[in-house]
Each structure stands twice: as structure tokens, then as C-alpha cells.
Structure 1
Amino acid sequence: MTLGKSLEDYLETILILKIKKGMVRSIDVADYMGFSKPRVSHAVKQLKTQGFLLMDNNGQLLLTDSRQAMAEKIYERHCFFTKYLTEMGVDPKLAESDACKTF
């Protein structure tokens, strides 16, 4: 299944927050990405409908087992291109941002 870049960014963010915090809620995603709660809620609904996410009774977002690997690949690709751009002399913050947008 192919996701658009926007939904890939949400999956990557959910994975990053899960690694950093252990649990993820929609508000955490909104804060991390700088988006409004309604915008994130819409994306979460799409990801749930497509079978990428589950939400427990506490509002915690959980990647489905079958989609965890996909999120990890998205994150690995992002890390690879961030490192590549940094090694080419791009400022680390700009490299981080450009890796999301370009690749």
C-alpha cells in the first residue's frame, strides 16, 4: 500500500514519539509537528481506516504490527538522507527538514 508523503510523515512522527516517550497520543503528534489537533485527528482517522493505527481507550496511538515495519523503513530512509545531506555540508537542522520534504 502506498501512502502519500503527509501520511508517511505522521507514521514517522508516531514511531519517533513512541521511541522517545513510550506512548503517543494525538496531542503529542500535534505538538511535535506543529499542527492543529483537528488536522492531526483527521490524519489519524485516515491511518486508522487504512489499518495503520489502533487507538486504545486512553487515546494512545498504536501502530499495527503489520505496519510497524513500514514506519521503521520510512524512519530509516529519513535518517539515511539526513546523514547524507549533513555529510555533504548541509546544516543539520536544514538537512533534517529537507530529508522529510525531498525524499
Structure 2
Amino acid sequence: MDKATLHASREDYLEAILVLQKQKGMVRSVDIARHMEVSKPSVSHAVTTLKEGGFLTMDDDFFLHLTDLGRQVAEQTYEKHRFFTDLLTEAGVDPALAERDACRMEHVISQESFEHLKNAYKTKEE
């Protein structure tokens, strides 16, 4: 697995934890596996990597909690995802395809370029 894929995967897991926390309050690995449609061993490996990287913690009841760093990455990724999904859907792209494409786009655009694009789009709407 190359560095970009690992990075995108890490962002996807953090984003999933953020979304699930908003929906359910508390999140366990099994919730992530169901949400992302991946195996429990895949989630276990990702959780270990994310804990080692300082992006999340696990309490004694096996609930996952984003650290400040993890929350920041998750929120940036989720914001990009929503922006691109909405933009593509408004342009007439099928919603399911818009979700898939947005998931790819959120990982390849730099934060700086995203901010400029978002600001330009806001200015255009006003």
C-alpha cells in the first residue's frame, strides 16, 4: 500500500468515526466495520495505526474517541466530502456516483486549494 492510499484510508476511517459519533454518540470498531463495509481485522489494523499516530484513543469499554488531531483531520475530510458531493449533485451527477467521486476528490486536493475553491464558490453564490 503506497503512502497516498494509506493517507486516504486513514482519513476515511477518521471521517467514519466522526460521522458515527454524530449519529450514535459512541463508536466501537464493529460500528466502523458495518459503516464502511470492511472486515473487522481491517478496522483493527487501522485503529492500531491511528492510535499509534495520535489520532484516536480507545477507552476500557472499547469505545473509540478522536483526539484533537484526529478530529481536525476528520472534520476537514468530512467538509471536503460534503462540499464535493453537494457540488456534483447540483451539477446533475447521480447522488450515489457523486458520493463515490467526492470520496476520491477529498483526498487528492490540498487544503489550500480546497479553501480557495470553497471561497470562490461562496463568492459566486452571493
Aligned to 1:57: 60
Ranges in structure 1 where 5+ consecutive residues have no aligned partner: none
Question: What amino acid does structure 2 have at the position aligned with 1:51?
Answer: G
In the alignment of these two chains, the number of paired residues is 102
| Structure 1: distance between partners of 2:12 and 2:73 | 12
| Matches for 1:2-17 after TM superposition, within 5 Å | 4-17=7-20
- Alpha-carbon distance in structure 2 between the residues aligned to 1:57 and 1:66: 21
Report the TM-score when normalising by structure 2.
0.77
RMSD: 1.4
Q: TM-score, normalised by structure 1?
A: 0.93
Q: Deviations over 1:49-76 (max 9, x none)?
A: 0000100011100001233122111100
| Aligned 8 A contact 2:11 2:77 in 1 | yes
Q: Where is the helix percentage greater, Structure 1 or Structure 2?
A: 2
Partner residue in 1 for 2:28: 25
Give the aligned partner of residue 79 of structure 1: 82
Deviant stretches of 4+, over 4 Å: none
C-alpha displacement of 1:102: 2.9
Q: Which letter maps to 2:99?
A: E
Q: Is 1:35–2:34 an aligned residue pair? A: no
Identical positions, percent: 58
- Of residues 5-14 and 93-102 in structure 1, the stretch that sits farther from structure 2 once superposed is 93-102
